[in-house]
C-alpha cells in the first residue's frame, strides 16, 4: 500500500514540474513591444528617477541644463531578454533625442541607452559616470549593465573635460569596449561627422541579433529624412550573455557636470524583442523639439587651436628669454662686486671656473665631503689673463675647485679676508690655495690639482693603487711631510694657522708620493658660519683631542693630537676607532707597555719595514696623543724626533678609556 501511494506522489510531482517548466517556457516566450510617440499620457509607463521628468508637451527630459544632475527613465516593466542559458534574445530599439548644450562646444556629459537589472540606477553618480555607475562599482562584473553611451565629453577618468563626441558600447563599465566618433554614411558611402550637441533631433537605431550575436547601430540627424543604409557600428558582442539576466529593464540615463551641462531630451521611443524590428517612429507625429537656446560658440575650433598654439609659442619664447637672462646674470654675477670684494688678487671669475669645470659637470666631481664638493677643472692661461680682475698669479693647468655653501653668508666676508692671507701660504706639503670666487651663496676655492688622491684611499681602498701596499719608505716620508706642513702652519708663517681637521682624507699625495695637507683653515668657516654663539666643535671623531670635546677650543695642541693619531694610523694601517670602544692610541700604548709595540705594525707590510723607524713613529705618535695638551710636543719637536735630530723623551703611560685590551688584539 505504502509503496503505491509513494508512486502516485512521485507521478504527481513529475506532472507538476512539467507544468512549471511549460509555464516558464510560455512566459519566456513573452515578447515586449512598445512605442512612445512622445510621452504624453505615458507617465505611468515610465519609471522616472533623479532629475528626469516628462515635460508638459510630452518630451522625456533626462536632465536639465544645470550643474551636477543625474536622471534615469526606464520602461516600467521588465523585459525578457534570455531565450535560454546561452542565448540573448534579439531586440530592436529606435529613439529620437535632442541635446541642448550651453553653447555648441560646451555641453556635458551625455546620456546612455541602458539594459539594467533594476528600473533605476541607485547610487549612480553624475558627470563622467553618466548617472549609470559610480566610482566604486565602475567595471564590476556584478553590475549586469550594458549601455550604449552618447558621450559629449572626452577624457573619462583623466578629468580633462575636452569636447567629446562619440558613441561607445559599455559592458559593466564606463570605459567603452567599442567607440566611434559620431557620424553617418551618406548615400555615396561617405562618412559624415556631426555633433550630438547640435541642438537638432537625432535618431538612433540599435538592433541586436540573438543568433549571430551582432549589434548594429545607426545614428543620424532626422533632417536627412531617411535612415542611412550603412550602420555606424556593426559588431559581434558575445559578451552580452554575461550581462543579461532573465529579466532586464530598458531605458535611459543622463548626467551633467559641475562646469559643463546640457539638457538631454528623448522625443520618442520604440522597442521590441524578437526578430521583427521596433515599430518605426513617425517623426512628424513627435512632440515639437525643445527650443534651441544654446549660445553660439564664441570661437570656432580653428581659432581656438590657433590661439592656443600661438600662446604656447610666445610663452615658450618668454620662458627661454628669462632663462637666458638669468643664466647670463649668473655668469656675470661675480663681476657685480661689492666693495670689499674688489682688489683681492686671488679672486677668480666665475665664468672662467664655469668653463674650466665644464659647467660644474657631474662627471668632473673628484670628491665630496669636508664642507663641499670638489670638481676637477682645466684652466687655460688665456682665459684667466683675459680678465682684468682675475688672479695676478695667472694660473693655468689642472685645478681642483671646491664648492662650499656655508651655513650662513655672514661668515663669508670675514672668511674671504682670511682666505686672502691663506692664499699666500706656500709650502711643498700644503695643497696650495690658488684663489677664490664668491658666487651667490656659494664660495668657490681653487686649489692645485693633486693627482694621486688622498692618503685615506691609499691606506684603505681595495684594491689599492697598483695593487701594492703602501711601502714603509713611503709611509715614513708621508708622516714627515705632514709634520713639516703642520709645522709651517703653526710656526713658520706670519701668523698661526690651526688646521682643525687633520685626517687621512685631508692629506693628498702627489706624484712623487709627497703628502700635501689640504683644507686648512676651512673648519673656521664652518665655525663662523654657524648661527648661534655656541661653539661648534669641528673635527672628526677619532682625531679630536679630549679637551676639544670639553671646551671646543682648537689649538695647535689639538692639531698635534690629530697628527699623533694619524701617525699611529699610518704605521699600523688601522682606523683610530671602530664602532665599539676600540681606540688606536690606547691599543698601541698597551702593546708598547708590554714591550711588544712592533706587533702593532701593519701586518700587510710583513717584514718590509724599518724596525727603528717604526718604534720611533709609534713613540712620537703616542707622545702626541697624550690626553693632557700640555704634555704633547710642538710640531717643531715632532719633526726633530722624526728626523732623528732629537731623542724621544720617555713616554708617560696613559689611557683614554678604562677599557683594557686583551693583548694582543690582532685579528681583522
Place of cell 708617560: 652
Among 152, 165, 172, 198, binds ligand NAG (CB under 6 A): 198
Q: Which stretch binds ligand NAG (CB under 6 A): 35-43, 337-345, 506-514, 640-648?
A: 35-43
Question: Please, what's the b/e burial string for 87-107 (b: 16 or more CB within 10 A of its CB; e: otherwise)?
Answer: ebbbbbbbbbbbbbbbebbbb
| Distances, alpha carbon 40 to alpha carbons 53, 56, 60, 285, 287, in Å | 11, 8, 9, 12, 9
Q: 457-464: long-range contacts (C-beta < 8 A, 24 or more apart)?
A: 458/509, 459/504, 459/569, 459/570, 459/573, 460/504, 460/575
Closest to ligand NAG by CB, 42 or 272:
42
CB of 251 to ligand NAG, least distance (A): 13
CB of 333 to ligand NAG, least distance (A): 57
Closest to ligand NAG by CB, 29 or 628:
29
Q: Name which of residues 620 to 659 contact ligand NAG (CB under 6 A).
A: none
| Distances, alpha carbon 85 to alpha carbons 44, 114, 207, 668, in Å | 32, 21, 21, 78
* Residue 645 is among the residues annotated as catalytic for this protein: no
Closest to ligand NAG by CB, 73 or 571:
73
Closest to ligand NAG by CB, 284 or 382:
284
CB of 75 to ligand NAG, least distance (A): 8
CB of 84 to ligand NAG, least distance (A): 4
Nearest residue (beta carbon) to ligand NAG: 41
In angstroms, the first-to-last Cα distance of the chain is 101
Q: Name which of residues 202 to 221 contact ligand NAG (CB under 6 A).
A: none
Contact present, 290 and 107 (Cβ < 8 Å): no
Q: Which three cell numbers stand for residue 49?
A: 528617477
Contact present, 125 and 133 (Cβ < 8 Å): yes
Cis peptide upstream of residue 666 (ω within 30 degrees of 0): no
CB of 136 to ligand NAG, least distance (A): 35
Q: Name which of residues 45 to 74 contact ligand NAG (CB under 6 A).
A: 45
Q: Name which of residues 99 to 128 contact ligand NAG (CB under 6 A).
A: 104
| Distances, alpha carbon 436 to alpha carbons 64, 341, 372, 408, 417, in Å | 73, 11, 14, 17, 11
Phi-psi sector, 130: left (phi>0), alpha (psi -120 to 50), beta: left
Cα distance between residue 526 and residue 508, in whole Å: 21
**Interface characters, 530-559, with ligand NAG (x: CB under 6 A):** ------------------------------
Closest to ligand NAG by CB, 223 or 424:
223
CB of 209 to ligand NAG, least distance (A): 12
- Give the active site residue among 138, 501, 519, 586: 501
Q: Does 504 bind ligand NAG (CB under 6 A)?
A: no
Among 199, 290, 435, 518, binds ligand NAG (CB under 6 A): 199
Among 57, 229, 292, 643, binds ligand NAG (CB under 6 A): 292
Cα distance between residue 115 and residue 9, in whole Å: 43
Closest to ligand NAG by CB, 35 or 537:
35
Among 200, 442, 456, 613, binds ligand NAG (CB under 6 A): 200
- From 36, 100, 45, select the one nearest 76 (Cα to Cα): 45
Among 159, 160, 276, 282, binds ligand NAG (CB under 6 A): 282
Among 11, 15, 29, 41, binds ligand NAG (CB under 6 A): 41
CB of 294 to ligand NAG, least distance (A): 5
- CB neighbours (10 Å) of residue 81? 26
Q: Does 284 bind ligand NAG (CB under 6 A)?
A: yes
Closest to ligand NAG by CB, 42 or 619:
42
Closest to ligand NAG by CB, 64 or 510:
64
Q: Name which of residues 587 to 616 contact ligand NAG (CB under 6 A).
A: none
Paired residues of 249 in beta bridges: 116
Q: Which residues contact 206 (CB under 8 A, 6 or more apart)?
A: 92, 93, 94, 113, 148, 215, 216, 217
Number of residues that bind ligand NAG (CB under 6 A): 22
Local structure of residue 491 (DSSP, 8 states): I
Local structure of residue 22 (DSSP, 8 states): H
| Active site residues per annotation | 501
Residues near ligand NAG (CB under 6 A): 34-36, 41-42, 45, 83-87, 104, 198-200, 282, 284-285, 292, 294-296
Amino acid at each position: 500500500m505504502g509503496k503505491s501511494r509513494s508512486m502516485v506522489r512521485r507521478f504527481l510531482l513529475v506532472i507538476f514540474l512539467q507544468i512549471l517548466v511549460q509555464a516558464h517556457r510560455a512566459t519566456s516566450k513573452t515578447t515586449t513591444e512598445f512605442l512612445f510617440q512622445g510621452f504624453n499620457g505615458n507617465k505611468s509607463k515610465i519609471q522616472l528617477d533623479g532629475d528626469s521628468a516628462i515635460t508638459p508637451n510630452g518630451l522625456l527630459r533626462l536632465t536639465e541644463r544645470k550643474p551636477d544632475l543625474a536622471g534615469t527613465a526606464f520602461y516600467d516593466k521588465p523585459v525578457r531578454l534570455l531565450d535560454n542559458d546561452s542565448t540573448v534574445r534579439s531586440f530592436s530599439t529606435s529613439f529620437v533625442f535632442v541635446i541642448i548644450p550651453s553653447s555648441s562646444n560646451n555641453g556635458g556629459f551625455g546620456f546612455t541607452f541602458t539594459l539594467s537589472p533594476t528600473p533605476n540606477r541607485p547610487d549612480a553618480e553624475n558627470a563622467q559616470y553618466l548617472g549609470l555607475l559610480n566610482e566604486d562599482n565602475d567595471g564590476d562584473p556584478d553590475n549586469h549593465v550594458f549601455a550604449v553611451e552618447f558621450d559629449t565629453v572626452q577624457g573619462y577618468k583623466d578629468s580633462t573635460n575636452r569636447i567629446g563626441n562619440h558613441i561607445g558600447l559599455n559592458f559593466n563599465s564606463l570605459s567603452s569596449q567599442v567607440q566611434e566618433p559620431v557620424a553617418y554614411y551618406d548615400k555615396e558611402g561617405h562618412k559624415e561627422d556631426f555633433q550630438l550637441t547640435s541642438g537638432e533631433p537625432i535618431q538612433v537605431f540599435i538592433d541586436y541579433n540573438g543568433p549571430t550575436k551582432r549589434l548594429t547601430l545607426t545614428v543620424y540627424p532626422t533632417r536627412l529624412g531617411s535612415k542611412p543604409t550603412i550602420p555606424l557600428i556593426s559588431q559581434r558582442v558575445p559578451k552580452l550573455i554575461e550581462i543579461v539576466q532573465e529579466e532586464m529593464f530598458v531605458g535611459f540615463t543622463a548626467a551633467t557636470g559641475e562646469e559643463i551641462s546640457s539638457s538631454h531630451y528623448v522625443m520618442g521611443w520604440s522597442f521590441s524583442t524578437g526578430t521583427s524590428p521596433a515599430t518605426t517612429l513617425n517623426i512628424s507625429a513627435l512632440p515639437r523639439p525643445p527650443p534651441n537656446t544654446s549660445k553660439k560658440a564664441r570661437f570656432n575650433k580653428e581659432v581656438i587651436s590657433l590661439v592656443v598654439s600661438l600662446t604656447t609659442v610666445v610663452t615658450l619664447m618668454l620662458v627661454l628669454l628669462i632663462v637666458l637672462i638669468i643664466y647670463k646674470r649668473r655668469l656675470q654675477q661675480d663681476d657685480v662686486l661689492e666693495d670689499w670684494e674688489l682688489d683681492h688678487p686671488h679672486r677668480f671669475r666665475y665664468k672662467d671656473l664655469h668653463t674650466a669645470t665644464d659647467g660644474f659637470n657631474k662627471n668632473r666631481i673628484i670628491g665630496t665631503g669636508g664642507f663641499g664638493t670638489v670638481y676637477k677643472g682645466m684652466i687655460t692661461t688665456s682665459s684667466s689673463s683675459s680678465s682684468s680682475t682675475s688672479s695676478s698669479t695667472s694660473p693655468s693647468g689642472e685645478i681642483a675647485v671646491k664648492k662650499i655653501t656655508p651655513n650662513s653668508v655672514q661668515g663669508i666676508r670675514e672668511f674671504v679676508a682670511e682666505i686672502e692671507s691663506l692664499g699666500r701660504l706656500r709650502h711643498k706639503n700644503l695643497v696650495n690655495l690658488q684663489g677664490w670666487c664668491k658666487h651667490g651663496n656659494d664660495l668657490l676655492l681653487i686649489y692645485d690639482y693633486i693627482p694621486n688622491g688622498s692618503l685615506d684611499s691609499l691606506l684603505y681602498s681595495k684594491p689599492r693603487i697598483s695593487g701594492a701596499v703602501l711601502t714603509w719608505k713611503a709611509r715614513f716620508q708621508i708622516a714627515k711631510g705632514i709634520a713639516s706642513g703642520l709645522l709651517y702652519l703653526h710656526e713658520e708663517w706670519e701668523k698661526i694657522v690651526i688646521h682643525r681637521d687633520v685626517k687621512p682624507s685631508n692629506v693628498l699625495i702627489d706624484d712623487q708620493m709627497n703628502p700635501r695637507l689640504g683644507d686648512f683653515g676651512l673648519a673656521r668657516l664652518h665655525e663662523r658660519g654657524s648661527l648661534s654663539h655656541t661653539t661648534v666643535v669641528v673635527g672628526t671623531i677619532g682625531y679630536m683631542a679630549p679637551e676639544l670635546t670639553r671646551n671646543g677650543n682648537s689649538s695647535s695642541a689639538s692639531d698635534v693630537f690629530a697628527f699623533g693619531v694619524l701617525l699611529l694610523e699610518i704605521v699600523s694601517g688601522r682606523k683610530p676607532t671602530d664602532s665599539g670602544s676600540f681606540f688606536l692610541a690606547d691599543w698601541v700604548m698597551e702593546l708598547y707597555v708590554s714591550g711588544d709595540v712592533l706587533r702593532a705594525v701593519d701586518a700587510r707590510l710583513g717584514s718590509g719595514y724599518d724596525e727603528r723607524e717604526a718604534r720611533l713613529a709609534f713613540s712620537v705618535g703616542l707622545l702626541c696623543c697624550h690626553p693632557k695638551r700640555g704634555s704633547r710636543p710642538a710640531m717643531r719637536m715632532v719633526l726633530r724626533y722624526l728626523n732623528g735630530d732629537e731623542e724621544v723623551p720617555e713616554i708617560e703611560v696613559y689611557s683614554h678609556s678604562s677599557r683594557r685590551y686583551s693583548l694582543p688584539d690582532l685579528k681583522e
